[in-house]
Copies of this chain bind each other. A is one copy, B any other.
Amino acid sequence: MADAPYALYYWPGIPGRGEFVRLVLEQAGAAYDDVARRPKEDGGGIPAMMRCLAGEGPGLRPLAPPVLVHGERRLAQMPNVCAYLAARHGLVPSDEGTRAEALQLQLTVADLVAETHDTHHPVGKGLYYEEQKEQALAYARQFVDQRMPKFLRYLESVVRANAAGGGRHLVGDGLSYVDLAMDQVLRGLEYAFGRAYAHYAPELPGLVALREHVDALPAIAAYRASERCLPFDEHGIFRRYPELDLLPASE
């Protein structure tokens, strides 16, 4: 789809932060060129992404992927790209105040993503996990005992407050990009921290129901059954390392 209105640039081997953008594009039914997923011989691969980061393209040079090119704009930062697409495709309410609430929640989900990443890279983003395993274990312990439940209980309270107003989403009256991101994080946490996920899930009925709802959306289900969707593995954000998959300490 080299003539699609959107071009996405992201690491071709992992779902990572690119997946949050893909879910918005897929739910919107928008055509997009997932550039680095195309073969190198076809102008794709990591070299294409690196050219985009080095300066090639319209608009502002980005620091890091995911990057979305749309006409004369080259946008980065996952929550920003998702919010931009959502506004164009009816995946966020149009009033300024509700959009600010949605962005607030998306940034909170992004913070949870960043802390999940840091469970295997607490000390050095330029080092391998194998070089920081001891620190990773300490980080994972406080993540599983304190940070993961803090974030998830907060987000559960948000979906419950929405439910009290008659909704079943995180913000507003209908599906938004924030719900798509929440779904992806819950799947990632279950993959990487399966014991903690199972431990906390019973107190998170609102989030679990939201996840079931998003997983069953026809466009999302079709995407995940396709070859376009990459599985989680131990090169991305959500990694299943048995030694870090800790059972939470009793509170």
Contacts and interface: CB of A to CB of B under 8 A. Distances in A.
A48 B130 CA distance: 44
A62 B104 contact: yes
A63 interface: yes
A147 interface: yes
A135 B122 contact: yes
Contact of A123 (B61, B122, B126): B122
A73 B96 CA distance: 11
B147 A125 contact: yes
Contacts of A138: 123-124, 135
A138 B124 CA distance: 8
A169 to B, nearest CB: 13
Copies of this chain present = 2
A123 B142 contact: yes
A127 B96 CA distance: 38
Contacts of A171: 60
Contacts of A104: 60, 62, 75-77, 80
29 contacts: A60-B104, A60-B105, A60-B161, A60-B171, A61-B161, A62-B104, A63-B154, A73-B97, A73-B101, A75-B101, A76-B108, A77-B104, A80-B100, A83-B100, A83-B103, A84-B96, A87-B96, A122-B122, A122-B135, A122-B139, A123-B123, A123-B135, A123-B138, A123-B142, A124-B139, A125-B142, A125-B147, A135-B135, A135-B138
The 3 closest A-B pairs by CB, nearest first: A77-B107, A124-B142, A77-B104
